[in-house]
Amino acid sequence: DEFELYYQPLLNRNGQLVSVEALLRWPHPTKGFISPARFIPLAEASGQIMPISEWVLKRACLDMQALTLEGLGRVQVAVNLSPLQFNRASFLTTLRQTLLDTGLPPEQLSLELTEGILMDNTEAAIDTLQALRSMQISVSIDDFGTGFASLLYVRDLRACRLKVDQRFVGSLDHDARDRAIVSHAISLADSLGMEVLAEGVETAEQERLLVEMGCHLVQGFRYARPKRLPELVEWLKRKPSIHPCP
């Protein structure tokens, strides 16, 4: 009962909101905020990640419905999936039931998968992704560039979006190698009809370089910090528009 969801906006090149990413936080009553890097591995090892993941998915869907009822538009939410959740035989059934229970239209949900999840069983992963596409749910490859994905793998998965890891974005202004990696990721996505999201953007120089490279979407402290739902509501009331996610 101590977990909370925060939402960080994802913006396009015109500064319009495209979606928000649901981020799990643990504000411990005596120890303060405990990093997901600490508690997520423990939850995965103990098996508790399943009820946690299902709670995150349902809570995020309910919160987006609350935004719609507030008259703030149909905001898409991106939810990170755990390997156990994605590879479970009942995953698609549970997902459909969650959408039915919450009333969230499937096009308002985006699922984020790491390269490692998808590479464990590529054939089964492709079948699951095809089912998600038929449901009109979009898929992003998270932390792109930190795994060992081949170009064939990227081609066959046909995800909607590549998320460039913030470790590359954070050194754009002083490391030519990272600039080359990000630039090639954007070119690859363009040629495959995908979007690139640069996460962890914090400075004006990083923003300038990403604009020059033609990056499609950005996320980071430069634009907006993660927010609880009431804070997100107030932020949305000040934003001029919501750009529908393709």
- Angstrom distance (rounded) from CA 33 to CA 36: 9
Residue 244 scores a pLDDT above 60:
no
Give dist(CA 118, CA 153) in Å, integer.
9
Is pLDDT above 60 for 35? yes
Mean pLDDT of 99-110: 95
Report the pLDDT averaged over residues 66-84.
Answer: 91
Antiparallel, parallel or unpaired: β 195-199 and 217-219: parallel
Q: If you average pLDDT over residues 104-132, what whole number do you get?
A: 82
Radius of gyration of the chain (CA): 18
pLDDT at 116 over 90: no
Assign 174 to helix, strand or coil: coil
Supply the pTM of this predicted model: 0.90
pLDDT tops 70 at residue 119: no
pLDDT in tens, 158-196: 678 888 888 899 889 888 999 998 998 899 888 888 889
Burial bucket for residue 31 (CB in 10 Å: 0-12, 13-18, 19+): exposed
Q: Is residue 148's pLDDT more than 60?
A: no
**Mean pLDDT over all residues of the chain?**
87
pLDDT at residue 201, as a whole number: 93
Question: What pLDDT band is residue 226 in, cutting at 50, 70 and 90?
Answer: very high
